[in-house]
Amino acid sequence: MRICIFGAGAVGSHFAVRLALAGHDVSCVMRGAHLDAVRANGLRLRVGDTEFHARVKASDDPAALGPQDLVISTLKATGVHGLARGLAPLLGDDTPVIFAQNGIPWWYDIGLPPDHPSTPDLGFLDPGGALRAAIARSRIIGGVIFSSNEVIAPGAVANLSPERNLLQIGECDDRDSERIAQLRATLETAGIGSAGVTQIREMIWSKLLTNMSMSVLCLLTGQTARAVRDEPALQHVIPRLLDEANAVGQSCYPTVKRITRSGPAPEHKPSILQDYELGRAMEIDALVRAPQAFARAADLSTPMLDMLAGLAIQKARDKGLYRA
């Protein structure tokens, strides 16, 4: 398959190497020093003590890469608007686009199952409707990433979760489809787990519950997920915070798995903290504002989450990383 990774940073570069080594014609939309290194020497992926190397096409201009059989967007929510401007040259008649990002995605209310509770206004996730205008519903595939990675040098990424590297995917209307089955098989063959899911939004919430609570707490403390979980001063705070997060997720999907303080906590800084420390735009809207909007729509009282949201927004604004 001709597969383009749009926004190939840490996660996208990891996937690009695996897909290329599985025999696919892989191209990457990337920029800066990372792009220069990949053009010169290809992409390197370190997993434990093992290193993999793959040659891929790379450009900061999607038009240079041509039509694809599949586009996987690994852009963060803060950069996904770039697809509205750059996606068209990559699209053939039937090219699907997997949107693999953290938080509530811009397309959440498109193809929504009829039994889903009414959603709040999420227009702030797609200002001006640019993505809706540029991307047909028929192309949209939801994606949820479970994989920890970091760029360790231009052209080189390290995978920090060798035991857990998943890209869960599903149609935006949750229907079974032949293309989802085929794409899952493609991912699995490349060493990217992609087990079947029946409701992609439930999977989105299952990851978001951690991001909207523990990851934001990591941002505020500057600590890893494990350090936050094990901090004695937070032993009475975290259970109340998680209760609120679980209530918000279960207001949309009663069967979504609850998160608890005793769950897995990697010795790893979540992406929202990494972005803050590196001075990059932060996914405040998708990870903080959107869950708040769902809580209000469900008439839920979430004082802990509201406090964290206010502190996170102020912290980001003080560094010039959030402007809304």
| Catalytic positions, written as ranges | 207
Cα 162-165-169 angle, rounded to 5 deg: 175
DSSP label at 3? E
Burial of residue 317 (number of CB atoms within 10 Å: 0-12, 13-18, 19+): middle
For the record, the structure tokens of 119 come out as: 């959603």
Distance separating alpha carbons of residues 69 and 136, to the nearest angstrom: 16
Distance separating alpha carbons of residues 69 and 44, to the nearest angstrom: 24
Distance separating alpha carbons of residues 292 and 161, to the nearest angstrom: 30
Q: Which residues, in sequence order, are CB contacts of 163 under 8 Å at separation 6+?
A: none
For the record, the structure tokens of 237 come out as: 């705070």
